[in-house]
Structure 1
Amino acid sequence: MTGTARSLAPLAGAWKQAFHLATNGSGSYGKGLNLARNGAVAQIHTQPGRISAPVAAKKATHQAVIHLPELTATQWESLAARLADDPQAVADLVANRIPATIADSGHAGGISITPPSDGITFSCSCPTGRTHRVCDHSAALGHAVAERLTNSPSLLLGARGMTARALAAHVRDLVDGADPGPLPADTNGTVRAAQLYSLAAHRPPQTAPSLDLDTVTILTYTDAPLPGPRAQDLAHMTADAAARARTLLTDTTAAPHDELADILRILASPDGADHLAAAQRATGIPEATLRAMMIGYRHGGPAGAHATLAATPATRDVLEQARETLHSSRAVGLGTITLDGDALTDTTAGVQIRPGPDGRWYPFTVWRAGEWRPAPGPCDDPAEAFRAARRARAARPLRR
């Protein structure tokens, strides 16, 4: 995921520039950034031509919308044809990943996934937004989109009029039975195994050599027989495995990095829900819990997923000190903070914070029948995490 995030960084950068220009110097741009950083933006929804989300601010929640033009059918055809000529893009798409190529219009047939700044407009349920001017809430949504694009580029694809799944299917049709060519390494010198084997399925079968059984024939293969990966691809994979081994030996990996976190990384991807049944069989964790952990992963990475499954054990002194911090910071309203196992809970407000395995505090809101759902805004400061939970609770009605 790190390599994918770096390769798609230009897409987020292009969106930030276009979004900034679209706000036309409004003071809401900076105020919206503060709201987004404080976890005010709830779940983002995408439809053709619009991106929307509830945004909580000043004890009120407003529905913010960013409008942008859809790409035409001709433009999508041009983009798909250009992607079909790029082995790296084909490998990404057949492995259900968004190719980094879409972040660069120069390599995507001149088609830019990021809309021009004059094509971005705003609306909101607040008084300012009703006049179709940018407000603090729609600006916060724009910043939240930029933050999530490196991990969820399908947000922008859907708003421009095509899902990632539909684009991948179209490219598959274009390359079916053809040889897309060798797969180059990505920007950090690695090649993913899933890409290699997915790409190999689209290469024509290798013709079996003609053998004379009465004579001894020595065959030499530069590449392994298809559908296996090519020799160059194996070299890239070997180099990547060696680099990861060195990282493990020097103990510089970010905890927690384990099999469960890696499963959640896949589930949290744009098409990860398709693997829920397999993940449930592999882990024995109920589907509802896995879905909640997917949300936790999106908000806080591997640590967020683990915190959703269970709070990290903490000493009584740590919990009491955190509770004192909440009271002294006035983050608590009229409720009472109770120690609920290794978590701090305000049952009146319907919010909770839990210690995570990375030392941060993770916010949660009550969902139904005592079930807790993760919220955005994990923080080293328990008071800030508690405020993030309250903001998310205000934006999320109680499910009964």
Structure 2
Amino acid sequence: MSGTGGAGRATGGSRVFPPFPQHSDPQAPFATSWWGNAWIDALEGTALDPGRLSRGRAYAREGHVDTITVAPGRIVAYVRGSRPRPYRAEIRMGTLTPEDWNNFLDAVATEPAHIAALLDKDMPHALVAAAERAGVQLLPGPGDLVPSCTCPDHGRPCKHAAALTYQTARLLDADPFVLLLLRGGDEQALLDELTHRNAHQAAREQSTKSTDTTTEPFPGTLARDALATDYRPPLPPPLAPPTHPGEPPLLPSLPGAPNPTSLEFLATDATSRAHAHLTTGTDPFPAADPWHDAVRLAASHPGLTGRRTFSRQFAELARAVGHTSADLSRAAAAWRQGGEEGLSLLESPWDPPAGPFDRARGALIAADLPRMTIHRNHLTNTPGSLQLRYGRDGRWYPYRSEPGRDDWWPEGEADGDPVGALSGMLGS
């Protein structure tokens, strides 16, 4: 089955839903439909730690769950916790077999009220009961939801996976086809097949009632006759570019196939560059060397960024360009701080001309901030733990190190005012 519909944006065999905003009412339920609450019961019925569920509900209400992607058999989203880097939470559930789908479609197609209910985004008890009589279980039971997360907490579920599950209940509440997609069924394909089976059912009933066996139940015009013309209308104008790059499809993990997470990462970057080229007419990074391109990738992908904690994909990216994970992490932090200029300041000191740089120390002293020593474009405090680097763009870039270690890391935002840059780092 291919193609999707509904409120979520379709990408291949999946649907992508934007993040929910922060919930204003801490007591409001996550689901009001009976099937949405059945989904929550499946999670809570097997959870080992009520405290993790409570924190997961708080994360969901506070809007910590980013874009949610639903595909056959799994739901994925990045969930922001207490650390800067979000975690990748995932919920898996078994899909139905082709025989199960055939039985389900037969059970629904024989009752027009069931089709009408699905079109109205409703899932009545009678529809689920009809599916169960056909041997098909739509709703998850205890143990059917399998959570996982990239965070170090091995709870089942951890608070990030719990937050994703609670937010998914909201999706199910609004559209039961999200559940059918999770079970492996696509909305448009299911509706087309139900319409086809319902028409056949009506035709059989009509032929049974009719006394004129020579009359076809559905006379019409053959498609080849309707389209037999030399006239072709002009093509419509191209669509306007989307406001944001699309999300890559969720790829399966198959023996011998490339790592799906790495492919999703590369697809995300290719989509972003294609979108920039489409909207601006130019490639934003036309001549980047492999090292700069690896730094840009590491800085822009939420699953790769980090400081002294590195994923396997991060380490592989660093090795591919001949650097260590620590080198790449430090460079990615500089890129996030100032792009190409931020990376240049990390790697290449320079000698600024007289002017704003010379006046910076006096401004810091007047603001009662630590005294700084000068070396080229660097201002460093005496303990050697705080540093400002002056960029060619006229901004000041804050750095921090353990005293005496000369291990400088970009920290905080660049600022056109040295007092603002240093104050921001001291405040953090």
TM range (shorter): 0.3 to 0.5
TM-score by length of 1: 0.42
TM-score by length of 2: 0.40
Where relative contact order (Cα < 8 A, 6+ residues apart) is larger, the structure is 1
Question: Considering only CA atoms, is the larger Rg found in Structure 1 or Structure 2?
Answer: 2
